Structures are given as C-alpha cells and as structure tokens.
Chains A and B, each alone.
Chain A
C-alpha cells in the first residue's frame, strides 16, 4: 500500500506522468470538463441556446430536414441544427456535456459514499452487523443496474429534477462492489500493527476509522471509482436513449441519439456528434482510469506495461 498523505500523492503524480496515454487522456478529460463548465459562455459566443426552436431553419415540407448544406451548418449555427425542431446542435452538444459529466460524477460520489459507509461498518461492526450488511450487499450486487434504473426512473413522478434523479438512482443501486472492496481492505488494515497501536492507545472506533483506515482504503476506492465514471456515463446515456433518463428539453447525448437513426442521411452529424462525444469521453475516462490504477498499484513498477482488465460493471 502506498503510504497515505503528501508523499503518496507525489508518488501518484509521478507514476501517472510516466504514462503517456494516461496523460493525453487527462488533458482530454480536462478539456471536456472545461467545455461543460463553460457551456453558457461558449453558447453565448455562438449566440445560441440549446432550447430555442428555429422552425424557419427546417424544411417542414420534407418532414423537418434542416435547410442548407451539411445539416444547416452556418456562421450562426456552427454544427447545424436539429431536424424537426431546428434547435442549435452545438449548444445542445456542449450542454449535453454538462449532463453527462455531472450525472456520472454525482452518481459516482453517491456510490462511493454509500459503499464506504457500508463497507467500513461491515468490517468494523460486530459479527451480526457484518453478516447483515454483507448479505445485503450481495443482494444489491445481484440486481442488474440498467434494469432496476430503467424501471425505477419510470415510476418516479417527473416533477423531480431529472438529472439529479438519474444520478441518485444509479448511485443508490450500484454501490455494492465498492462496499465489497472497502470491507475487504478494511479487514486487512484492521489486522495491521499501526491500527492495533491506535486501539491500544485508547482511540475510539470512529477516530480510528477516520484517521487510520480511510487513508488506507483511499487507493482501491479511487482506482475503482476512476473506472466507474465512464461506466456511469454510458448508463446515463443508455437510460436517456431509452427515454427514461434525462428528458427534453434538457439536452443529453444519449437522448440526442434516440431519433438519430431516422436522420442519418439528411443530417449525419445529428448522429455522429453525440455518438462521437460519447465515444471520446468514455475512451478518455477509461484510459485515465487505467492510468490511475497503474499509478496506485503497489506492483506498478514491475508491471507498468501491463494493463490488467478489471471488471467494469453495468456496461450498457
């Protein structure tokens, strides 16, 4: 286990920096986050917004095909307009980045929070507490995320803000693997001398958990969470694609793809832009996640060239 604290963080950065692919991926991710944060600014520069209909820009006689070449690309509409509604595609794409990244990150935070609490409680609690929590975790792991989320999202009244709801639902269903990892790691740490020393000097369970155990479980949790983010992005996109995730008028990449197959000839970018955005985002986050794992792996020095394929959950 790399020692927690400042020196651990420095070592982590050094090891991450030596991996070129991870570095490139980190830059791409940083750019995507920047685009998401600056979405209002970018669309203001373009002079458009993601929700205004432009019926004059689509040919209603031909079923709503965008007027003009390349799906209505112009100085006003940089990437063209959406078929039928004429909404600006560039604005929808950059606002979609907010939804994708925001929902995925929020869901990951919920997953980590629940997983860490349940895992630590199971490892430190009495035998009985451990039994109950571990069995409950087993049941949670056995529930297919996509199916549960699909079903749950549909029955919650739509008055609830959708992006928040999607993040909550993903987070509340898919925390089982983190809890398992945290429990195993905590059990290992609990047996180590420095924790025994803390106990002998009269520290309470809470203080030991916070000061001695949490830094120790950080590495495996970060490793797993780094790969959860791209998987959550895929899940959100899939749910929105099916029409139960983020609902219009809020733009989301998955939702943009719902109708894209009908328009691929008249307005190919309507399909290619959200699909490409999803691909690049998930790819960059996955490569970054791999890099993070390698950097945190105590055996990384000898295996820096080997990427082990850790299981990813709930691919959609």
Chain B
C-alpha cells in the first residue's frame, strides 16, 4: 500500500511537471505581441521595447522556464523598476498588469472557487447517486421513467443555460433569493450558503445527471450478478440488497467518474463564477486571459491542473478501498 502511494505521488509530481512544461511553452511561444498589449495601444516602439526588456520577454525560453521553476521551488526576487519585491517559495511570478504576486492573487480567490466546487460536489453526489439508486430500485415503474427523462434533460443542458434560467426565474421573477454575492464563510456561514445556493445548483445539476445515469447502470449490472441472487435467496431484505450490496457495486465507477469529471466541473465553475459574478479563480482567469496577463494565466492553469491531478490520485486510492477486487500495484 505505501509503495503504491509513493509511486502514485511520484507519478502525480511528474505529471504536474510535464503539464507545467507544456503549458509554459505553449503559452509563451504562441504568437501575439505580449509587450504591446501589456504596455497599451498608445505605447511607442521604444516603450514597448522597454516593457519587453522588463518582463524578460527577449530572453530565451528555457532560461525563463528555469527562472520560473526556481521561483516555484525556492522563491525569487523581482525588481519592479524602483523597488525589489521578494516572492517566496511557491512563486508563480508577477502579474504583468498589476505587479501583484500571482500566488497571492490565486490564494485570495481560491476560497471562493473551492467553496463553489466542493459544495457543488456534495450536492451532485447526493442528488446523482440518490436519483440513480431510486431509479434502479423502481425499475420499470413510472418513477424510473420520469427520473430517466429528467436526468437525460440534465445531461443535455449546458451549465450556463441552467445557471441563466435559474438566476432569471429564482432571483428575477420569483425573487426568492437575492442575486448571489459572495460572502466569506468566516464572515457569515449562513449568508455564505444562501448566496452560493444557486451557483451550487447550476453546477451540480448537470453533473448529478451524469452520476444518476452511471449509478443506475452500475446498480442494475450488480443486481443481475449471482451474489445478489444468493443474498435474496437467503432472505436478505430488498432494502438491504439495494442500499448495501448493489450500491457497493456502483461505488467504484462513481469514484472513477468523479475524478474523471473533476476537470470538467472546474471548467463549469469558471462559467458559473462568470455568470453569477463570483470573485473566484475562474472569473480572474477570464479577466487575465482578456488582457493576456500570461503569468496569471499560466499560474491559474497550473493550480487547476494541480487540483485535477490530486483528485485523480485520491480517486485511485478510494477506488481500491471501494472495490476490494482492485489490487493496488
């Protein structure tokens, strides 16, 4: 087990390193005059040249990547014209636009995004697995047909369409909730939850639909297996057969799907944040992308990649715990 964990962690580190290389190279090699955009449309060629100099845009790529890695591992000092700024250990560089440290920028926005994604995850697991169990249990009846239709519609609706409709109906027409505004959990947990309710729902509904379909299919497959027939023959109650034994068969695929969809859900979170005006990483990324603030973009993509890789590693371990047939190797 510990050997497996070690290898998995090492693998994750290597993957992250490879992602950082690819992301760095792709973003800094792509054509586009970064210095001109950063400096502004009215800059003279000399000023543009000066900006390029200051941002080290003329240095060779490998040298810049090496600097970037050094900053990431050991921290780095940046001169911002007049003063020297120290950027400590996991340093992702300075924003081209504001000279702010990217790490600090991301850390400031992270709680919003984490609140959104993990809250929604709780919701989509409960809703999705619950719906799946219910429709496997009620197979062939009206309940199942209704649920199948609803989940299919859920799978087919883009997250920003659900979000738009929810916002217009709930906040605009019915005025049940105010238009969401982020309140930090540490300030007021109750307001935090109320304001995140709609964003959570928008993000969770579409994911829940995918989980419902998967759970239902996996449970039906398990229910057809011999050991379930044996349980039933021994007189184990239907509730226990469904709730304990069949559900166990669905657990491993659900975990796998959760890891697999995590990256997609983060993408959905970007849309949700933009739609509801939540000041998270996604909104910041959209902003950074529009002003071609490359250090911020690269930093954010790496941080998001980090979470996706970690989610996958965690899923691998949980997978083995959920399904004892899986041998960790």
Identify the A interface with B (CB < 8 A): 135-136, 138-139, 142-148, 150-152, 154-157, 230, 234, 237-238, 241-244, 254, 257, 260-261, 264-265, 271, 275, 278-279, 282-283, 286-287, 306-309, 311-316
Q: Are A152 and B266 in contact (CB under 8 A)?
A: no
Chain A residue with minimal CB distance to B294? A155
What sequence of 0s and 1s flags, for each residue 168-206 of chain B, a beta carbon within 8 Å of any chain A beta carbon? Answer: 100010000000000000000000000000000000001
Q: Is B153 positioned at the interface, with any CB of A under 8 Å from its CB?
A: yes
Chain B residue with minimal CB distance to A177? B260
Identify the B interface with A (CB < 8 A): 14-15, 18-19, 22-23, 26-27, 30-32, 148, 152-153, 155-161, 164-165, 167-168, 172, 206-207, 210-218, 220-221, 256-257, 260-261, 263-268, 270-271, 274, 285-286, 289-290, 292, 294, 297, 300-301, 304-305, 308-309, 312
CB neighbours (8 Å) of B158 from chain A are: 234, 237-238, 254, 278, 282, 316
CB neighbours (8 Å) of B305 from chain A are: 142-144
Q: Are B289 and A244 in contact (CB under 8 A)?
A: yes
Chain A residue with minimal CB distance to B172? A264
Chain A residue with minimal CB distance to B128? A309
CB neighbours (8 Å) of B157 from chain A are: 278-279, 282
Q: Complex formed: what's the CA distance from A241 to B268 in Å? A: 12
CB neighbours (8 Å) of B267 from chain A are: 144-147, 150, 238, 314-316
Q: Are B260 and A313 in contact (CB under 8 A)?
A: yes
- Name the contact of B160 in the complex, choosing from A230, A257, A264 (C-beta under 8 A): A257
Interface of A, helix, strand, loop or mixed by DSSP = helix
Q: Are B160 and A241 in contact (CB under 8 A)?
A: yes
- Name the contact of B19 in the complex, choosing from A143, A234, A279, A312 (C-beta under 8 A): A143
Smallest beta-carbon distance A287→chain B, Å: 7
Q: Complex formed: what's the CA distance from A154 to B292 in Å? A: 7
Chain B residue with minimal CB distance to A172? B26
Q: Complex formed: what's the CA distance from A243 to B260 in Å? A: 26
Given contacts A147-B301, A238-B271, 18 further A-B contacts (CB under 8 A): A135-B18, A136-B18, A138-B15, A142-B308, A143-B19, A146-B263, A147-B300, A148-B23, A151-B300, A238-B267, A244-B290, A278-B161, A279-B153, A306-B220, A311-B256, A311-B261, A312-B155, A312-B264
* A139 in contact with B15 given A146-B266, A146-B268, A154-B289 (CB within 8 Å): yes
Smallest beta-carbon distance B235→chain A, Å: 27
Smallest beta-carbon distance A230→chain B, Å: 7
CB neighbours (8 Å) of B220 from chain A are: 306
Between-chain CB contacts (< 8 Å), 24 pairs? A138-B15, A139-B19, A142-B19, A143-B19, A143-B22, A144-B266, A147-B304, A238-B158, A238-B267, A241-B271, A244-B289, A261-B168, A264-B172, A278-B158, A279-B153, A286-B155, A308-B217, A309-B211, A311-B257, A311-B260, A312-B210, A313-B264, A315-B207, A316-B158
Smallest beta-carbon distance B55→chain A, Å: 15
- Name the contact of B263 in the complex, choosing from A142, A155, A230, A257 (C-beta under 8 A): A142
Q: Complex formed: what's the CA distance from A142 to B313 in Å? A: 11
Smallest beta-carbon distance B22→chain A, Å: 7
CB neighbours (8 Å) of A147 from chain B are: 263, 266-267, 270, 285, 300-301, 304
Smallest beta-carbon distance A293→chain B, Å: 11
Q: Complex formed: what's the CA distance from A242 to B217 in Å? A: 34
Q: Are A242 and B270 in contact (CB under 8 A)?
A: yes
Q: Complex formed: what's the CA distance from A297 to B30 in Å? A: 42
CB neighbours (8 Å) of B18 from chain A are: 135-136, 139
CB neighbours (8 Å) of B304 from chain A are: 144, 147
Smallest beta-carbon distance A213→chain B, Å: 26
- Name the contact of A151 in the complex, choosing from B148, B217, B285 (C-beta under 8 A): B285
CB neighbours (8 Å) of B19 from chain A are: 139, 142-143
Q: Are B164 and A155 in contact (CB under 8 A)?
A: no
Q: Are B217 and A306 in contact (CB under 8 A)?
A: yes
Smallest beta-carbon distance B68→chain A, Å: 16
CB-based closest 9 A-B pairs: A146-B267, A309-B213, A309-B214, A283-B156, A144-B263, A154-B289, A308-B217, A282-B156, A139-B18
Between A146, A238, A275, the greatest number of chain B beta carbons within 10 A of the residue's beta carbon is seen for: A146
Smallest beta-carbon distance A108→chain B, Å: 17
Q: Are B270 and A315 in contact (CB under 8 A)?
A: no
CB neighbours (8 Å) of A308 from chain B are: 213-214, 217-218, 221
Q: Complex formed: what's the CA distance from A151 to B156 in Å? A: 25
Q: Complex formed: what's the CA distance from A232 to B292 in Å? A: 25
CB neighbours (8 Å) of A230 from chain B are: 156
Q: Are A150 and B285 in contact (CB under 8 A)?
A: yes
Chain A residue with minimal CB distance to B267? A146
Q: Are B213 and A279 in contact (CB under 8 A)?
A: no
CB neighbours (8 Å) of B217 from chain A are: 306-309
Q: Complex formed: what's the CA distance from A242 to B274 in Å? A: 8
Q: Are B263 and A145 in contact (CB under 8 A)?
A: yes
CB neighbours (8 Å) of B15 from chain A are: 138-139, 142
Q: Are A152 and B26 in contact (CB under 8 A)?
A: yes
- Name the contact of B309 in the complex, choosing from A142, A279, A306 (C-beta under 8 A): A142
Chain A residue with minimal CB distance to B274? A242
Chain A residue with minimal CB distance to B28? A155
CB neighbours (8 Å) of A243 from chain B are: 286, 290
CB neighbours (8 Å) of A275 from chain B are: 161, 164-165
CB neighbours (8 Å) of A307 from chain B are: 148, 213, 217
Q: Complex formed: what's the CA distance from A151 to B291 in Å? A: 11
